[in-house]
Amino acid sequence: MSTQMVSDSKLVNPAQGRSKWAQFGTSFVADGYTMYPVILLLVIIGSIVAPRFATTTNLINILEQISVLGLTTIGLTFVVLIGRLDLSLEGVVGFAPMFAAAALVPAVAGGFGLELPGWMGLIVALGVAGAIGWFNGFMVVKVGLNPFISTLGLLVLLRGGVLIISNGRSIYSPGKALTFLGSEKILGVPLAVFVFLAVAAVVGVIFKYHRYGRALYAIGGNEEAARAAGINVDRVIWSAFVFAALLAGLAGVMMTGRLDSAVTTQGQGIIFSAFAAAVIGGVSLGGGRGTIVGVVSGVLLIGVINNLLTLAQVPSFYVQASTGAVIIVAAVLTTIASRRSSGVKTRT
C-alpha cells in the first residue's frame, strides 16, 4: 500500500473549521498547481538577473526545448499512475525515429534499402513505438515480470538495437515527412510546442473526464479494489504501456525533426529527467496520484532552470549538479504540500 494515514489526530473531521482558504489549498495542491508559484518566482528572478531571459525568443526557446521531455513525461505518467514504471521509453525515443529513418533513406545513406515513401515515416515510427509498448504490456501483464527489470532489459536492448540498425552512424536528413513535426514553425512558434500543448490538453481531459483516466487512478490507488469494481485491470495496464511508448515515439520523432537527423545517442538520459519532472509535478511513484497540470509544471520547472543556469553562464558541470539538487528540493516541497493539504501520505 502506498498510502497511510499520517496520524489519527489529523483525522478529526476535517469539515469542522475548514476555511475557504484551506479548501482552496487542498484543491490547489490536488489539481497540480503547487509548482506554478515557484516557476513564477523563478521567471521574475530570472528577468531581473538575466536581461535576455524574459525575451519572447528565449521563452519560445524554452518551450521548444521542453516539448520532447514533456511528451516523454506525459507518456511515463500513464504507467506511473498505475503504480508501474517504464525505463524503456528512453530507448523508444532513440529507436523509433532511427528505425523509421532507416526505412526511408536509401542504403547508401545508411538505410535498410527499403526506401519507403516519405509519408510513411511518422507511421513507421509510431508503429514501432506502439509495438514496443505492446511488448512491455505483454511482459508485465501476461508473463508477470516486474516492469523495472523487463523495461530495463528492453532499454539496454533498444540502445544496442539503435547501433545495429544504424551501423553506429547517425542518419542525416531522413525526409520532411519525418522531420516536419520538429522543424516547422507556425507564426514563429515551433510546431513541436503546439504538439506538446495539444497532447497535454487531450491527455489532461482524458485523465480527468474519461473512464480510462478514472480507471488509471483507481488501479494505481488500489488494484484489487479496481478489479472488484469491475474494471478490466489487465487491459488498462497493458494499454497504458502502449500509450506511454506511443508518446515516447512521438517525442523521438520531434527530436529527430529538430536535429534534422536520427542521432545514435538520441534521448540518452531523458528517462531520468522525465521521472524528475513527473515527481516534481506531484505524480506519486506509488501510483494513483498526479495530474497533467502538475506534469507540465514539472517539465516547465526543469526547462526554466536549465535555461536560467545557461544564461547565467554557469559552467555546464554545475548545471547538471544543480539540476539534481533542484529535483530533490522540489520533490520534498511537493511531498510536504500534498501531505499538508490532504492528510494522506504518499510515497513519492
Partner 1 sequence: MIPIINDDRRAIVEMRNIAKTFGSTRALRGVDFTVMRGEVHALLGRNGAGKSTLVSTISGFTPADSGTIRVADTVVTANAQNYAAKIREGIAHVQQTPQLFNLLTVAENLFLESPKVRGRFGAVSHARTLAMTKELLHTWAIDIRADALVGELDAGTRQLLEIIKALSRGVPVMILDEPTAALSNAEKKILFEQVRALKAQGVSFVYISHHLDEIFEIADVVTILRDGQVVRAREPVAGLDVDTIADLMMGKKTLRSSREDHTRGEQPVLIRARGVRIGPRSEQTLDFEVRAGEIVALAGPVGGGKEALAMILAGQRHPAEGHIDSPRGLMPKIGLVPTDRHASGYVGLLGVRENVVIGGLDVLSNHFGFISKRAEVRHAERLAQKTHVVSSSLEQPVSQLSGGNQQKVVFARALCRDPDIVIALSPTRGVDVGAKEQLYALLRDLASQGLGVVVVSDEEDEIAQLANRVVIVFDDEVKDQLLGNYTIKDLVLRMEGVL
Q: Enumerate the β-bridge partners of residue 171.
A: 262
Q: Is residue 110 within 8 Å of 166, Cβ to Cβ?
A: yes
Q: Considering the rule CB under 8 A, would residue 317 count as an interface residue with partner 1?
A: no
Q: Which of residues 19-38 bind partner 1 (CB under 8 A)?
A: 27
Residue choice 9, 13, 57, 316 for contact with partner 1 (CB under 8 A): 13
Of 54, 114, 229, 321, the residue at the interface with partner 1 (CB under 8 A) is: 229
Report angle CA 273, 293, 133 to the nearest 5 degrees.
55
Among 162, 178, 215, 276, the residue binding partner 1 under the rule CB under 8 A is 215
- Closer by beta carbon to partner 1, 174 or else 213: 213
Of 45-53, 161-169, 206-214, 242-250, the window that binds partner 1 (rule: CB under 8 A) is: 206-214
> 172 by DSSP, 3-state: which?
strand
Binding segment for partner 1 (CB under 8 A), chosen from 86-94, 119-127, 218-226, 296-304, is 218-226
3-class secondary structure, 168: coil
Write the binding mask 37 to 66 for partner 1: x where contact by CB under 8 A, - elsewhere.
Answer: ------------------------------
Q: Does 3 bind partner 1 (CB under 8 A)?
A: yes
Provide the pairing of β-strand 185-186 with 344-345: unpaired
CB of residue 333 to partner 1, shortest distance in Å: 19
Is residue 11 a contact residue for partner 1 (CB under 8 A)? yes
Residue of 119, 148, 212, 318 interacting with partner 1 (CB under 8 A) = 212
Q: Which residue in the block uniquely carries the three cell numbers 523563478? A: 42
Among 20, 108, 224, 313, contact with partner 1 (rule: CB under 8 A): 224
Assess 337 for contact with partner 1 (CB under 8 A). Answer: no
Give CA–CA dist 97/162, Å, rounded.
10
Contacts of 141 by beta carbon, 8 Å cutoff, 6+ apart: 234, 237, 238
What is the distance between the alpha carbons of residues 279 and 341, in angstroms, rounded to a whole number?
Answer: 17
What cell was used for 75?
A: 507518456
Assess 342 for contact with partner 1 (CB under 8 A).
yes
Task: Give Cα 310 to chain centroid, integer Å.
Answer: 23
- Which triple of cell numbers denotes residue 325? 539538487
Task: Give the residue carrying C-alpha cell 508485465.
Answer: 140
Residues 273-302 that bind partner 1 (CB under 8 A): 288-289
Q: How far apart are CA 286 and CA 331, in angstroms?
A: 14
List residues binding partner 1 (CB under 8 A).
1-5, 11, 13-15, 18, 27, 205, 209-212, 214-215, 217-218, 220-222, 224-231, 288-289, 342-344, 346
